[in-house]
Structure 1
Amino acid sequence: MLLLIIAVLIHYNLFDLAESHNFSYPSFDSASCADGSNLICWGSVSSGNGSLQITPHQSQQPKDTNEVGRVLYRNPVLAWPSSFSTTFTIKITSNSTASGDGMSFILAQDNGPSPPESYGSFVGILDPSTEGGVVHQLAVELDTYKNPREIDGNHMAIVTTSMERPVAVRSLSDIGINIHSGRNIRIKIEYDGWEKLLQIHAAYAGDCLVEFLSQKIILQDTVPQEVFVGFTGSTGHLPEVHHVLDWNFTMYELPKVSLSAGVGKTKGRKVWEIAAPIIVTFSVAVMVLVAAALKRRMLKHEKRDDMEKLTKNAANGPRYFTYKQLSRATRNFRKENLLGTGGFGSVYKGVLSDADFSNSVAVKKVNATSNQGEREFLAEICTIGRLRHKNLVQLHGWCHDRKQLLLVYEYMPNGSLDRYIGKDFLDWNTRYKILSGLASVLLYLHEECGSPVVHRDVKPNNVMLDSDFNAHLGDFGLARILQNNVCVTTMVAGTIGYLAPEVSFTGRATLESDVYSFGMVVIELVCGRRSKAMMEEFSLVDHVWNSLEKGLLISSVDQMLGGKFDKEQARRSLMVGLACLHPDQMLRPTMRKVVQVFLNPDEPLMDLPESRPTEVCLSLPSSSPSTTLTDTGSIAPHYACFLQDLPDEMTMKTDS
């Protein structure tokens, strides 16, 4: 198992670990385009009411006037050697049957405005004076008007030096999208700096993204090493409004060797990617077999030297510690240093005599008797090692020695949130900050860190508090990565009371089940007491629903606050909590919607039914005309609903 961990870590560090740069805009307000903000807004661009308007509303557009807008992130990003990923939601509207001309996502060579005559079909990218290669940039164009030599007025194109001769083009009609529909459209653009491959995915917001366009592009031959990223848009004689509703961008710096990879060398690199971990594993195995013949003391020194060399090469990655180092740091894992015990082991406070760690750390000693222990250990190393967010507990290092698995985290002096709910006082501003931070990190895990990550055990025990009472989400022993919208799990995990009801039937943890768990944390923190089981009479959720039905929702707020809290924030927080706890997973809000509610007091709340819903509704695979729940846990048809409020049994009705 140790060889597997070492091989995975070395392979991971050879190819994926690098400096990254990312930013996120869940929505936009009037300050987004203000002087001194992180966005530079040129031409007709304005911000407010949750969106960037690249071109103005029809009522603000003078008749027969060409409009051009360009908005760029203020700081340049590395175009090569790097890989990047960006997702954004757009909406294009017009009050006439004919409109134009379109908008684009752009990698610009400078942070200046669009060329002076880039209105109309030039979409703010080029103009007659720059058409043909004067400007070094890359744009993904969304074209809404059919010009001569264009396939239609509903297509996307990859543009570098010429609007008339795009690098690649395809009609959005091929995947059932009408850009003129006025609906929100989600777009994901990824560039693989190793493969020199630009990939575009698109879908209506709420639908699964569909691969739309793929094109080999060598960025070092196309754009400067540093570029400014953003959006452009334009109109001609026809009105059209271009909205950007949200935007996430992540760039990963690659080693210089990647510049010579890609075109013409893809096959060789793939062979190396497959061979590298095998070679490394074999080499380490030989080293271990040879070292096994040496004295125990010599083996320990050699192992420590090998691990230190490995971790020095893993820039920004978790480092390796010896068992002796961690035992000394925790005073031989004394009971006095015990911070807490969970399902996967005990956590101890430690102090490392290391120049890199002047502060205390928390050392998790994973249960050696757990059948899943090594699997969770490897998941934490590989998953947390690539995640970076201010509200995540930072993993500093790891150890696999003496048949023990140990993880070294940053120390949180204020412990976990569960020690405060109903037991110790937290003022309202602190509670609201904790909820906002927890929502922000779940949004990052679900939508902004590459492949979606399901935490699977969101609860107060796993929400740690630093010295300023900022929330940090920890314990990724249960995390699983979703690839291409497919949930990969091996066991039902979570904590009763925070576990979404459908998980008990399907055995699948999803993004929606994380939302449910978050909703329970919201209710508990605002009300100041822990919940009972969902099926139990007079549960906390029942209490809050009863208060809502009587028009006395604020009466549910923790009495320890003595009325000293923002009543509107408390009301909106409780409404968010109830919406997240909806038994039908399809009716729960996304974490993006939750973050928008917490950040923007004018953001509309989710619709709630007049009384507490009691049906647990599931989407199930179709394998039989009848509905059965078998001993093995397989469930038959398309859709099933279970009455939630029966204490001794659950009544099921189906809808095929």
Structure 2
Amino acid sequence: MDALQRHSSTTEANPPLISFPPFPANSCDPGGLLRCMQNSSVRNGYIDLLPDKGNGTDPNLLLNNIGRVLYHQQAITWPASFDTNFTVLISKRANASSFGDGMAFVMTAEMRQSPREASAASWACSTTLAVEIDTYPNEYETQEYHVGVDIASIVSNVTAPLSSVSVDLNKEIPVTYRVNYDGWTKNLEVSAGYAGEGPPKSLLNFCIVIAKINPIYVGFTAGSGPSSNYSENIRILSWNFSFTPLPDWSLEEPGDGREEGGYAPFSQSSFLLLWVFPRLCY
């Protein structure tokens, strides 16, 4: 059976494993479907990934916040393809002149909090894989608002400006993001677009192979920095996630990659390995 026949013989994508058109008020309660950690919460039908107001007297309560929300159980087993979309509203906090620091969709091997000492931009150090929405102009990356793929590093492996799909975060309106991974072609695609204005547009493709079978957790993380001038609210309005299991031999395609860079671990954990190819996916 050739690659095309193998691909066409697989089943259609599973129904959404995770589906939150709105988020029920009890989502974070004991026994709920979400684990809301640190400064995150659910209210009014959305995830408040960072607190949007303090106690009215101490503005420092809104500085150096970290929030993480993970689905309550392991959501995927490798090898697989997966598809997720989520709608986010990012807005500047009162008296802030700009955004800071952003958020990420994360896939992690552990159900645990973000490190308390971690800066808002370093969520990728404690996750297996992160697709970031970066709203702060770090010196080591593009100065534009962008999405990026981070593998155990604060420096993205690949980035793309949101302006390339005509998304301007300064409008402070909901944006829908889609992250799709094809376990056959090994292509990770990120798309974005204003909510309610048609399907998100593709702005980033990255060829990766997740090469060891392991169930992992999925969710979101965010952080705000030490300055009230760069500060934002992050509300996740909806979220869907589904995956399709693939046979072990799907890992053979598009090739083992040893002729073009070999392989390297992308986490200090021994659970997962990643091959990064310096070429386009097939």
- From 28, 31, 38, the equivalent of 1:36 is 31
Displacement of 1:40: 0.5
1:69 match: 67
How is 1:251-330 mapped onto 2 (pairs within 5 angstroms)? 251-263=243-255
Displacement of 1:16: 2.7
Q: In structure 2, the residue corresponding to 1:257 is in which secondary structure?
A: helix
Task: Show structure 1 runs of 4+ deviating over 3 A.
Answer: 10-13, 17-21, 58-62
Q: Is the 8 A contact 1:24 1:247 kept in 2?
A: yes
TM-score, normalization by structure 1: 0.35
Measure the CA separation in 1 of the matches of 2:255 and 2:144. 32
Correspondence 1:180 to 2:170: yes
Q: In structure 1, the residue corresponding to 2:222 is in which secondary structure?
A: strand
Measure the CA separation in 2 of the matches of 1:111 and 1:240. 25
What amino acid sits opposite 1:72 in the alignment? L
Correspondence 1:48 to 2:43: yes
Q: Which one has more relative contact order, counting CA pairs under 8 Å at least 6 apart?
A: 2
Displacement of 1:71: 0.3
Query: Residues 235 and 197 of structure 1: is their aligned pair in 2 closer, same or farther, counting only changes over 3 Å?
Result: same
How is 1:330-345 mapped onto 2 (pairs within 5 angstroms)? none
Query: Residues 52 and 81 of structure 1: is their aligned pair in 2 closer, same or farther, counting only changes over 3 Å?
Result: same
2:78 match: 80
Query: Residues 44 and 153 of structure 1: is their aligned pair in 2 closer, same or farther, counting only changes over 3 Å?
Result: farther
Measure the CA separation in 1 of the matches of 2:254 and 2:20. 32
Correspondence 1:24 to 2:19: yes
Query: Residues 144 and 58 of structure 1: is their aligned pair in 2 closer, same or farther, counting only changes over 3 Å?
Result: farther
2:272 match: none
1:91 match: 89
Q: State which structure, 1 or 2, has the greater radius of gyration over its C-alpha atoms.
A: 1
What amino acid sits opposite 2:27 in the alignment? S
Query: Residues 150 and 18 of structure 1: is their aligned pair in 2 closer, same or farther, counting only changes over 3 Å?
Result: closer
Measure the CA separation in 2 of the matches of 1:37 and 1:45. 15
Q: Is the 8 A contact 2:35 2:70 kept in 1?
A: yes
Q: In structure 1, the residue corresponding to 2:17 is in which secondary structure?
A: strand
2:225 match: 236
2:106 match: 106
How is 1:478-489 mapped onto 2 (pairs within 5 angstroms)? none
Displacement of 1:97: 1.7
Q: In structure 1, the residue corresponding to 2:27 is in which secondary structure?
A: helix
1:248 match: 240
Displacement of 1:12: 8.0
Measure the CA separation in 2 of the matches of 1:234 and 1:196. 30
Correspondence 1:195 to 2:185: yes
What amino acid sits opposite 1:242 in the alignment? I
- From 123, 134, 140, the equivalent of 1:149 is 140
How is 1:284-433 mapped onto 2 (pairs within 5 angstroms)? none
Query: Residues 258 and 136 of structure 1: is their aligned pair in 2 closer, same or farther, counting only changes over 3 Å?
Result: farther
Question: Unaligned regions of 5+ residues in structure 2, if any?
Answer: 258-282
Bigger strand fraction = 2
Q: Is the 8 A contact 1:158 1:169 kept in 2?
A: yes
Bigger helix fraction = 1
Measure the CA separation in 2 of the matches of 1:144 and 1:108. 22
Query: Residues 44 and 220 of structure 1: is their aligned pair in 2 closer, same or farther, counting only changes over 3 Å?
Result: same
2:268 match: none
Measure the CA separation in 2 of the matches of 1:262 and 1:12. 12
1:309 match: none
Displacement of 1:179: 2.2
Correspondence 1:217 to 2:212: no
Measure the CA separation in 1 of the matches of 2:7 and 2:222. 39
Q: Is the 8 A contact 2:13 2:243 kept in 1?
A: no
Measure the CA separation in 1 of the matches of 2:124 and 2:49. 13
Q: Is the 8 A contact 1:141 1:157 kept in 2?
A: yes
Q: Is the 8 A contact 1:105 1:232 kept in 2?
A: yes
Displacement of 1:21: 6.3
1:163 match: 154
Q: Is the 8 A contact 2:186 2:208 kept in 1?
A: yes
What amino acid sits opposite 1:86 in the alignment? T
Deviations 1:66-92, CA, capped at 9 Å, x for gaps: 000000001102242100000110010
Question: Unaligned regions of 5+ residues in structure 1, if any?
Answer: 1-9, 127-134, 266-656
Displacement of 1:111: 1.0
Measure the CA separation in 2 of the matches of 1:102 and 1:262. 33
